[in-house]
Chains A and B, each alone.
Chain A
Amino acid sequence: MPIELKINGRIYQISVSPRKTLLQVLRDDLGLTGTKEGCGIGECGTCTVMLNGKAVNSCLIPAIRVAAWEITTIEGLSDGESLHSIQESFIRHGAVQCGFCTPGMIMSAKALLDANPHPNREEIKQAISGNLCRCTGYKQIIDAIEDASKK
């Protein structure tokens, strides 16, 4: 089925089977491998992308359902070598260890700060409670998002 996907401001015209999830299209068809697969059934958050500004699990969405939506992936946050302030903040605060949850975590943070530029720590926790991290213990991630919101 031919569709048009609008990802990180760019239009991709591709043909996909209705069986392919957005995650599979991103990773396998478009080579956007920054978005990760940790469980495939919406329980870990590593595949988080933004869909019309909202954080969603890309592993739960057949790609054909989001043609013409605004999709933002981790690759859409930085511009070449210049990083988004949330990404900078994650680096500064040691919010990254193995890095596998990081893209999804940052996308959840981005969706939060777009909707609520000055969240309190409780709101930050709620926003990333769908993103599992096994390395950091989360504390540094909250710090990083809080700090980014102050910039």
Chain B
Amino acid sequence: MESYIGQSVNRLDAKDKVAGRAEYGADITFPGMIYGKTLRSPHPHAILKKIDFSKAKKLKGVLTVLTANDVPGLNRHGEFIPDQPVLVQVGDKVRMIGDPVALVAADTEEVAEKALDLIEVDYEPLGVVGDIESALEPDSIRVHDECEGNVCGFPWYFERGDVEKAFAEADVIVEEVFNTPRQEHAYLEPESGVANINSRGEIEIYAAMQNPSYFQFSISKILGCSAHKIHIISPLIGGSFGGKCDISLHAHLALLSLKLNRPVKMVWSRKESFLASPKRHPTRIHHKMSATKDGRITGLKVDFIMDGGAYASHSPVVLIAMGGSFPGPYDIPNIKIAGKALYTNNPISGAMRGYGLPQAVTATECQIDALCRKLKIDPFEFRIINALVAGKSKPLPYLIEPIPFISLDSTVTLPQTLMKAKEIAGSLKKPSAEYKRTGRAICCSMPLFDVSAMPVFGMMGTNVSVEILPDGSAMVRSSAVEFGQGVTTVLGQIAAEEFGISLDKVNVVLGDTRTTPKSGATIASRTTYCCGNALMQAAQKIKAILLQEASDLLEAPADILFMKNNRVYVKESPPKGISMTELSERCYNKGINLKSESWFTTNHAGFGHTFMSKIADVEVDIETGKVEVLKLITVHDIGKAINPQLVEGQLTGGKMQGLGYVLMEDMITKKGGILTPSLIEYLIPTVEDLPEELHNILVEEPYPTGPYGAKGVGEFGLDTVAPVILNAVYDAIGIRFTKFPLTPQRVWEEIQKKQKDSNGEGIDGSM
């Protein structure tokens, strides 16, 4: 193969996965393994008065019952605010349905389940903070007694210019309140795992997670023991999308296993996963935007509130990410944005693909569409007029000091992606029935990817190691985890390319605190960029050593040598060379180290950016309210696609998840209880919901600091799907939806209102 970079090579983990050999948490067994179950609160808010587990303990086969008293260390976890109990203490409060109260271990899963029914718990129910509105009430019940106004962390605020003056001088202003739904990750693999005490008395936890080092650190505090005795090992992960960032069953597994000195397995049911795992934040966004009559945005003012649920999880950071995402890829002189995350007795909100951006761009892009309608300016033109331009625009304010501004240091421009999208969009279909309407819209965004590990995640850098073995094969080690995105394959391709060895000679070992260096969390669309760069640095060190050795041997200067086809050749006279096997073996015999670990960090920016444009065509049945997506086009500035098939997989998968978000997904709660606790109630798209046409266009202009020019991609397929569909629906029927998902009933109700208001005049999207 000429080069491994830019090739859609087969995934390195695919063979095991199609053969059914791939091992996930629930597939792991150990001799003598027992089963654990969690007793959860049925109340959204209550004082835990008493737990009586005497009957449960007497049940044959029950080995132990644990409560908060059995947590040896800190009974709290949470990456940013440690406010979540491992097990709720008697006398303390349960703050959501599903809060863990006790743990049971038994010989079989069945006995463990039965034992849960025998534990008697007394609760004193308290008033419930069921939504943003009740959390905001001046004399609202507090979810966390110490948090005034139910504010989680600190409110976030940013101001630039004079927005009130901009509004006073504006030609047009649009103002709207948006409400976004609670989205569930709905990865196909519910949480599962095994903890085991090894022969050296150390604890090993095998369970899906997105950041082994954080888990090691946090669980050591919970267990009250030193981190070096705790090993976190991630098996393959059956989907994550941000939902496996927080500690779920890991600490529970560790507690049971330590108590009994036996391997313990826990597998959550789907319902348990829905109850206890974090969700995408429901938000209420008050959004106001102004423009001049020639189409320049002059002011943006946003007040937004997020329903953070019972515990902080990632709320404090999603808040900042969301706040920073409102301006989008546009140059806006006057900005005032304020937001806060509130505690409620709802399921926890946390990290999910997009991390605050999907909600923000939904509001901004719908408002831009409204401005275009008012000004009668073509939405393409409007976005081109206002696009951020490298070197010309003011740097975008993002996050808080001391995190630097994002840098606009790539050559691709927003208009470039816009024009490309327009080029391939073709024409909008005519409606297929007299009771249907079709519409089209365009949306843009500027999603960011982490380029050095945000300090909020505890590290400003990424460690990856590479080792050439005596036979010339390579071992790559990183604590990144594989949840389907393809990190195994991308790192493999990079190593193969660097050493000129074939891909089958590369082994990529991931997500294991025993053996892999700290690569930070596998989040924020950062892994290809950060781990890729770290790997290249490490590889280059070893490469220099190998080439020096080869140079001595081949009697040719190192700078005319090249590595290809598992050999080192002399340029100009290729037959002259040495195999990697021979060369490596020689190095080992001479006592030369062929392992290198590299710490990658940047000092120029906290985030890299990409530009993205999407076009969607929809058809709306105005009698039933049913929305059908006909076409969904994405143009994405990828820098360089190291593996185009994997990039397409991220974009297509993200888009379907986005279509679910805007069309059908809503984890509906009432007084803290989930009304949609299964996959036939909480609906995610099936194959039948795939639009007729779905294209991904990659704009490839190498990003100067990316590995081979690559940028991030993981989250971006999803980002602007909601607004592009909402705006296309507006184009079709002339109704601006500020709430979604667009279930048939919701759409139908608005159509009814419009028909009433317009005295039976037609429904269409004309301006």
Contact = CB atoms under 8 A, between A and B. Distances in A.
A–B in direct contact per CB < 8 Å: yes
Interface of A: 27, 31-41, 43-44, 46, 73-75, 77-78, 83, 87-88, 90-94, 96-103, 106, 125-126, 128-142
Given A38-B270, A134-B653, A75 B20 contact: yes
Nearest to B241: A134
Interface string B257-271: 000000000010110
A139 B239 contact: no
Contacts of B43: none
Contact of B18 (A33, A91, A130): A91
A41 B23 CA distance: 22
Interface stretch (B77-85, B541-549, B644-652): B644-652
Contacts of B13: 96, 99
B679 A135 contact: no
B174 interface: no
B interface, over-half SS: loop
A98 B18 contact: no
B14 A133 contact: no
A99 B238 contact: yes
A133 B27 contact: no
A27 B23 CA distance: 12
A74 B19 contact: yes
Contact of A94 (B11, B21, B241): B11
A87 B21 CA distance: 12
A33 B19 CA distance: 11
A17 B315 CA distance: 46
Given A78-B19, A129-B687, A134-B241, 14 more contacts: A35-B20, A38-B190, A43-B679, A74-B20, A91-B18, A96-B18, A98-B187, A98-B484, A101-B188, A130-B686, A132-B679, A138-B685, A138-B690, A142-B690
B483 A39 contact: no
A36 B189 contact: yes
B10 A92 contact: yes
Nearest to A136: B653
Most A C-beta atoms less than 10 A away, residue of B23, B185, B190, B236: B190
A44 B10 CA distance: 26
B187 A137 contact: no
A31 B23 CA distance: 12
Contacts of B14: 90-91, 96, 99
Most A C-beta atoms less than 10 A away, residue of B18, B236, B688, B717: B18
Query: Which size bracket describes the interface of B in this complex?
Result: 35 or more
14 contacts: A33-B27, A38-B188, A39-B678, A41-B270, A75-B19, A75-B20, A77-B19, A100-B189, A129-B687, A134-B185, A134-B657, A135-B484, A137-B649, A138-B687
B485 A97 contact: yes
A83 B723 CA distance: 43
A43 B509 CA distance: 34
A134 B687 CA distance: 10
Contacts of A138: 656, 685-687, 690
Contacts of B678: 39, 41, 43
B579 interface: no
A91 B190 contact: no
Nearest to A20: B110
A99 B686 contact: no
B188 A36 contact: yes
Nearest to A39: B270
B523 interface: no
B17 interface: yes
A125 B239 CA distance: 22
B486 interface: yes
Most B C-beta atoms less than 10 A away, residue of A31, A73, A138: A138
B8 interface: yes
A97 B649 contact: yes
B749 to A, nearest CB: 28
A136 B241 CA distance: 12
B15 A91 contact: yes
Interface string B178-189: 000000011111
Contacts of A141: 687
Given A33-B27, A36-B238, A97-B653, A137 B690 contact: yes
B664 to A, nearest CB: 13
B649 A34 contact: no
A98 B236 contact: yes
Given A97-B484, A99-B238, A101-B188, A137 B653 contact: yes
A132 B686 contact: yes
B649 A136 contact: yes
Given A94-B645, A97-B486, A73 B20 contact: yes
Contacts of A125: 687-688, 690
Nearest to A38: B188
Contact of B684 (A73, A91, A126, A134): A134
B26 interface: yes
Contacts of B653: 97, 134-137
Contacts of B484: 96-99, 135
Nearest to A35: B20
A90 B10 CA distance: 10
A138 B652 CA distance: 8
Contacts of B239: 97-98, 100, 134-135
Interface string B214-257: 00000000000000000000001111110000000000000000
A100 B188 contact: yes
A151 to B, nearest CB: 15
Nearest to A142: B687
Contacts of B486: 97
Contact of B15 (A32, A83, A128): A83
B187 A100 contact: yes
B22 interface: yes
Contacts of B188: 36, 38, 44, 46, 98, 100-101, 132-134
